A and B are shown apart, each in its own frame.
Chain A
Amino acid sequence: MKKKLLFVLVVLAIIILAIGCSNTEESDSESLSERKVLQVATPGQHYPWNYYESGELVGIDIATLEEACRRIGYDVEYKIMMVELIYGSIDAGKTDTGA
């Protein structure tokens, strides 16, 4: 019985690992020009480049990115993080650029 339970757990673990891997592969294989969404890391608190006004993320960098992406048919998604983490996030491929 104990052995059977262990086997089930091992199988479960393998399945979970496999799902994890396939997800990673999927997101990695999709290039930026296929995904058409620019992921931007920003602290959202550096006036006048990126900051919140009436609950909305605004600023010179934000306006520039939004307009450039609008012109080339891309959406923009933001990930709010401390400024010290931005370069690491881009380098690790978790975001495409920073503002």
Chain B
Amino acid sequence: MEDLVGKRFIADPKSVAYEFINEYIEENNLQGQIEVVASEAEAFMEIELGRADATFDSIVLFDNKCEKGDYNLKLIGEPVGDQKHAFPFRKDVDPEFLEAFNKAIKDMMEDGFMTDLYMDYFGIDISKPMSDNVVIPIQE
């Protein structure tokens, strides 16, 4: 994270990354030392073109995004956090369904169904808690 001093960090103002970098700057008294570019432009493209130096992104989606956009970027630095992924239901959802559904999801986490699915897509198993979903890509 210290390497970001003197760099231009780009993030969509509505994103978790934007919130995170601003909190980090405030907590570490780095005002004026990391330039935060609030932009809805595709961050990877801006970094590739040299208009910004870094952003945050998900470890599991990084390779696919680089491949799709033909970006020559790499991940550096330590993981900075986890994000949970869940299905939203109404608070008054049928309790009989909810109990059965939650049990099925729990079983799928334990019996390897989710591991297989994540390995197929990402080559890593994110069914267990981990702290490396968010990292920093920076121009090669």
Contact = CB atoms under 8 A, between A and B. Distances in A.
Contacts of A47: 64
Looking at chain B's contact residues, is the secondary structure mostly helix, strand, loop, or mixed?
helix
B94 A60 contact: no
B130 interface: no
Contacts of B100: 33, 72
A87 B97 contact: no
B44 to A, nearest CB: 15
Given A33-B96, A68-B104, A98 B88 contact: yes
B121 A60 contact: yes
B94 A71 contact: no
Contact of A97 (B87, B96, B113, B114): B87
B71 interface: no
Interface size class of B (residues with CB under 8 A): 20 to 34
A96 B121 contact: no
Interface in B91-106: 93-94, 96-97, 100-101, 103-105
B88 A64 contact: no
B84 to A, nearest CB: 14
**Which of A32, A38, A98 has the largest number of chain B CB atoms within 10 A?**
A32
A25 interface: no
Interface in B72-120: 87-90, 93-94, 96-97, 100-101, 103-105, 107-108, 113-114, 117-118
A38 B100 CA distance: 13
A64 B108 CA distance: 8
Interface of A: 31-33, 38, 47-48, 60-61, 63-65, 67-69, 71-72, 74, 86-87, 90-91, 93, 96-99
Interface of B: 61, 64, 87-90, 93-94, 96-97, 100-101, 103-105, 107-108, 113-114, 117-118, 121-122
Given A48-B61, A64-B117, A65-B87, 19 more contacts: A32-B96, A33-B97, A47-B64, A48-B64, A48-B121, A60-B117, A60-B121, A61-B87, A64-B114, A67-B113, A68-B104, A68-B108, A72-B101, A90-B90, A91-B90, A93-B90, A96-B93, A97-B89, A98-B87
